[in-house]
């Protein structure tokens, strides 16, 4: 049975540093399972482990910490890309001691889905077949991992998440989100969104009782970034500097990310709707390097004087308005954690 579940979600448009937060929670708390709950290979988590950097896409970060990894029923997975990712991690010198569990309900991203998405331009997808796979899932004509009796591989195992989490043993689960509330199919800026549910609702849909949720970690950055076809970046030379200093290029596609000032209205809305208990605001050091402390509040750009005023303004606003919030952590770019 589940003792408790903690959830990590993105509050902006992805690439906030969720991988770093998940990795440090896995190290500091005693979880039995780490479950990816939405999306597919569109995600790109950068994990700094000892002296190596790993880019993961669909393999839960728990795999790198030997905490039972599960790919939950809310996800879509290409068997071919999964194998490539496993090999990427193995060639960098890490092989986990736990098999990757894949729920039997996980929908398959087929070669057809990949090729259909491969020349998509209007949304600016990551071209990893997500949209077509979810479309066919909801049209009820897709294949799932459980559609096949045997899988000829040594590193994953098809399971039933219900049996794994709701049996005799006590489970403490870390739910690892991908993308972010600003890209959520319902709550994002439609149609410039992904095809899954990126918030806490997406997590509990994977067989997690809502009242077993303990902490909800909402992750954001000191500035916003977005990748995709809509025009997001405005004319301010500081954005180019932030992109360079912050190395804001896609983990999955290498595309330059568009940069904007931190949208506190979106941040607050995302935090309220998801009952966020802890906010981690990453990469404050990058704003320090470019010496700009601007944020967007009530749809206007607010020019804050310095780091102290920046942290104070954000803390005061969010602690006052987000009832569930217990703590805000202002953090730096990932080093070895
Ligand atoms: P899709 O999820 O590949 O269909 O892409 C839909 C939109 O979500 C595009 O704007 C992508 O750039 C964006 N997106 C999807 N996954 C990520 C991510 O992990 N980080 C940032 N943006 C993402
Ligand atoms: Mg990413």
Q: Which of 50-54, 116-120, 250-254 has the lowest mean pLDDT?
A: 250-254
- Best substitution site from 40, 228, 230 to test ligand 1's pocket, by max atoms within 8 Å of Cβ? 228
> Average pLDDT in the 168-190 region?
98
The reported pLDDT for the residue numbered 49 is: 83
- Residue 135 has a CB neighbour count (10 Å cut-off) of 14
Residue 212 CB contacts under 8 Å (≥ 6 apart), including other chains: 2, 3, 4, 5
Residue labelled with tokens 């990469």: 283
Question: Ligand 1: which residue has its CA nearest to atom 20?
Answer: 14
Question: Ligand 1: which residue has its CA nearest to atom 10?
Answer: 228
The reply to whether ligand 1 has any atom less than 6 angstroms from the CB of 286 is no
What is the per-residue burial (b if ≥16 Cβ within 10 Å, else e) of 180-194?
Answer: bbbbbbebbeeebbb
The reported pLDDT for the residue numbered 337 is: 36
Nearest ligand (C-alpha, residue 47): 2
β-strand partners of 52: 49
Q: Against a cut of 0.75, is the pTM above it? A: yes
The reported pLDDT for the residue numbered 248 is: 96
Residue pLDDT, tens place only, 265-296: 999 999 999 999 999 999 999 999 999 999 99
Q: Assess contact for 182 and 270: CB atoms under 8 A.
A: yes
Dist CA 227 CA 206 (whole Å): 27
CA of 2 to the centre of ligand 1 (A): 31
- The pair of structure tokens assigned to 61 is 């970060």
CA of 10 to the centre of ligand 2 (A): 10
Helices vs. strands in the chain: H and E counts, helices first: 10, 17
Residue 69 has pLDDT above 80, yes or no: yes
- The pair of structure tokens assigned to 73 is 């029923």
Nearest ligand (C-alpha, residue 15): 2
> Average pLDDT in the 40-63 region?
90
- Best substitution site from 42, 131, 232 to test ligand 1's pocket, by max atoms within 8 Å of Cβ? 42
Residue pLDDT, tens place only, 200-235: 999 999 999 999 999 999 999 999 999 999 999 999
> Average pLDDT in the 118-137 region?
97
Residues with CB under 5 A from ligand 2 (ion): 15, 44, 251
Residue pLDDT, tens place only, 187-207: 999 999 999 999 999 999 999
% of the chain surpassing 70 pLDDT: 99
Residue 336 has pLDDT above 50, yes or no: no
Residue 11 has pLDDT above 90, yes or no: yes
> Average pLDDT in the 249-257 region?
87
- Best substitution site from 179, 186, 189, 233 to test ligand 1's pocket, by max atoms within 8 Å of Cβ? 179
> Average pLDDT in the 318-328 region?
98
The reported pLDDT for the residue numbered 45 is: 86
Question: Ligand 1: which residue has its CA nearest to atom 15?
Answer: 42
> Average pLDDT in the 253-260 region?
93
Residue 65 has pLDDT above 50, yes or no: yes
Question: Ligand 1: which residue has its CA nearest to atom 1?
Answer: 125
The reply to whether ligand 1 has any atom less than 6 angstroms from the CB of 125 is yes
The reported pLDDT for the residue numbered 253 is: 81
The reported pLDDT for the residue numbered 128 is: 97
Backbone angles phi, psi at 137, to 5 degrees: -60, -50
The reply to whether ligand 1 has any atom less than 6 angstroms from the CB of 194 is yes
The reported pLDDT for the residue numbered 55 is: 87
Nearest ligand (C-alpha, residue 56): 2
The reply to whether ligand 1 has any atom less than 6 angstroms from the CB of 178 is yes
Nearest ligand (C-alpha, residue 192): 1
* 3-state SS assignment for residue 95: coil
Q: Which of 63-77, 209-223, 244-258 has the lowest mean pLDDT?
A: 244-258
* 3-state SS assignment for residue 321: helix
CA of 42 to the centre of ligand 1 (A): 6
Question: Ligand 1: which residue has its CA nearest to atom 5?
Answer: 125
Q: What is the DSSP letter of 212?
A: G
The reply to whether ligand 1 has any atom less than 6 angstroms from the CB of 228 is yes
The reply to whether ligand 1 has any atom less than 6 angstroms from the CB of 227 is yes
Confidence tier at 307 by pLDDT (50, 70, 90)? very high
% of the chain surpassing 90 pLDDT: 93
Residues designated catalytic:
15, 45
Residue of 335 and 185 predicted with greater confidence: 185
The reported pLDDT for the residue numbered 196 is: 98
What integer best gives the mean pLDDT of the chain?
Answer: 96
């Amino acid at each position: 049975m589940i003792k408790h579940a903690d959830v990590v979600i993105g509050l902006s448009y992805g690439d906030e540093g969720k991988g770093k937060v998940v990795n440090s929670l896995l190290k500091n708390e005693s979880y039995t399972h780490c479950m990816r709950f939405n999306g597919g290979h569109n995600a790109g988590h950068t994990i700094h482990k000892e002296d190596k950097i790993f880019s993961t896409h669909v393999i839960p970060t728990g795999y790198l910490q030997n905490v039972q990894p599960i790919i939950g029923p809310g996800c879509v997975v290409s068997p071919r890309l999964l194998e490539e990712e496993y090999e990427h991690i193995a060639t960098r010198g890490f092989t986990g001691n736990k098999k990757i569990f894949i729920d039997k309900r996980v929908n398959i991203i087929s070669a057809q889905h990949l090729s259909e998405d491969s020349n998509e331009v209007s949304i600016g997808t990551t071209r990893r077949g997500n949209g077509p796979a979810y479309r066919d899932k909801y049209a009820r004509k897709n294949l799932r991992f459980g559609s096949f009796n045997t899988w000829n591989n040594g590193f994953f195992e098809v399971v039933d998440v219900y049996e794994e989490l709701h049996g005799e043993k006590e489970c403490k689960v870390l739910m690892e989100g991908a993308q972010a509330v600003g890209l959520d199919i319902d709550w994002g800026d439609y149609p410039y969104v992904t095809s899954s549910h990126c918030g806490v609702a997406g997590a509990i849909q994977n067989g997690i009782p809502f009242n077993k949720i303990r902490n909800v970690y909402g992750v954001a950055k000191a500035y916003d970034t977005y990748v995709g076809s809509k025009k997001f970046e405005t004319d301010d030379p500081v954005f180019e500097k932030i992109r360079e200093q912050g190395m804001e290029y896609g983990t999955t596609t290498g595309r330059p990310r568009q940069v904007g000032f931190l949208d506190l209205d979106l941040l607050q809305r995302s935090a309220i709707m998801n009952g966020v208990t802890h906010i981690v605001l990453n990469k404050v050091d990058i704003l320090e390097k470019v010496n700009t402390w601007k944020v967007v509040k009530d749809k206007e750009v607010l020019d804050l004087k310095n780091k102290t005023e920046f942290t104070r303004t954000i803390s005061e606003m969010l602690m006052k308005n987000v009832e569930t919030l217990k703590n805000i952590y202002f953090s730096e770019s990932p080093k070895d954690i």
